[in-house]
Structure 1
Amino acid sequence: MCRWLAYSGSPILLEELLYKPEHSLIDQSMHARLGVGTTNGDGFGVGWYTPGGSPEPTLFRGTGPAWGDENLRELAHSVRSGMFLAHIRASTGTPVQQTNCHPFRHGRWLWLHNGRIRGYPKLKRTLTLSVDPELFPCIGGSTDSEIMFYLALTFGLETDPIGSVERMVGCVEEAGRQHDIDNPVQMTIALTEGERLWAFRYSSERNSRSLYCSTAVDTLRTMYPDNPALQGVSDETRIVVSEPLGGLVGAWQPVAESSYELVKPGIDVVGPFEPALVGAGR
Structure 2
Amino acid sequence: MIVVKTREEIELMRESALIVSKTLGMLAKEAKPGVTTNQLDTLAEDFIRAQGALPGFKGLYDCPSTLLCSVNEAVVHGLPTDRPLEEGDIVSIDCGALKNEFYGDHAYTFEIGEIDPETKKLLDTTKESLYVGIREYKLGNRVGDVGYAIQKFCEDRGYGVVRELVGHGLGKKMHEDPEMPNYGKRGRGKKFLEGQVVALEPMINMGTHRVKQLKDGWTIVTADGKPSAHFEHDVAIIDGKPEILSTFAYVYEALGIKSDEENEFRQHALVL
TM-score tier after normalising by the smaller chain length: 0.3 to 0.5
What is the TM-score with the length of structure 1 in the denominator? 0.32
| Larger Rg belongs to | 1
